[in-house]
Amino acid sequence: MSKVLVTGGSGFLGGHCILAALAAGHEVRATLRNLDKESDVRSTLAAAGADTTPGLTFHAADLGSDEGWAEAAAGCDHVLHTASPFPPVQPANPDELIVPAREGTLRVLRAARQAGVKRVVLTSSFAAVGYGSAPAGHVHTEADWTPIEAPNQPYILSKVVAERAAWDFVTASGAPELSVVNPTGIFGPVLGPQLSASVQIVKGLLDGAFPPELPDMWFGVVDVRDVADLHLRAMVEPCAAGERFIAVSGEPLSLLGVATLLREHLGEAAVKVPRRAASAPAAAHPRRSSSDKARRRLGWQPRAPEEAILATAQSLVRLNLLEPSR
């Protein structure tokens, strides 16, 4: 089997990509910004069932610096580039987020080309697909792009700019091959206490951090285990080279729908979850998208969105990551 470099080895998706690659028999090298985290990451992966002793190594590399990337990519056959900056608050200056996202992606691609890596699978986002001016009811596909000139949040723009820069790079250089995965909101079982923005939604509902009347908020859902699986399929399938793949498991869920699901299945753990929506719903329509391309071309079969939500909540309970009841 091949040697796979996974960037962002301590992240939610990065951790699950490591688990999936090891389970498939690949040798894995993962990057961390600081190797002081290696012991904790190994322990977290081992607790999730991974045998990390023979097939997993770590390398220090930061997306903000050229240092370490050539060594990290050396000898690797494939790269799963899952690392990307995601700030707790949107910066006032969009370039504070856009520039690191673009330059970090290009650093990884340059190192991959120098090392003779066959294919890079880039984790982009539905943010790079579905935040244009599509009419109500439009189902987004991989042919859609969020316009760079649209007045969107810096995070959304950073995903568009970084992905376009990646495509421009491989078009100009001819190597390495590139596949892109564009997930909607990623949920599913957490591995440790560092939680993604999507998982924070479920945690916030269970912790009682939302107002009693929930806003009219909708989002696409996909399980992190299925996103990791899609990365591996995009890594090895010949037909995936030069292609984008939206990762979504069904129709969008509303925040109220997620809250109702949690109350129905989590028992006492869901006593703080709000029960009703705001009386004045927002005018925005849910952004719909299709994963038909990944299903047809790569044989991808994701879990139902409800299963992903419940797996998120159950893992938060199991790992004691919820706020204690008062």
The two three-digit tokens of residue 198, written as one number: 């999507």
Helix/strand/coil percentages in the chain, nearest 5? 40, 15, 40
Which DSSP category does 179 fall into?
A: E
Specify whether 159 is catalytic.
Answer: yes
Tell me the angle at which helices 224-236 and 12-23 cross, rounded to the nearest 10 degrees.
60
- Whether the Cβ atoms of residue 291 and residue 246 lie closer than 8 Å to each other: yes
What does the alpha-carbon distance between residue 172 and residue 145 come to, in Å, rounded to a whole number?
Answer: 20
**Both structure tokens of 324:** 């204690």
Out of 3, 118, 159, 293, pick the active-site residue.
159
In order, the DSSP letters of 81-129 are E------SS--SSTHHHHHHHHHHHHHHHHHHHHHT-SEEEEE--GGGT
Query: How crowded is residue 71: how many other Cβ atoms within 10 Å of its Cβ?
Result: 14
C-alpha closest to that of 9 among 236, 221, 194? 194
Q: Mind telling me the catalytic residues?
A: 159
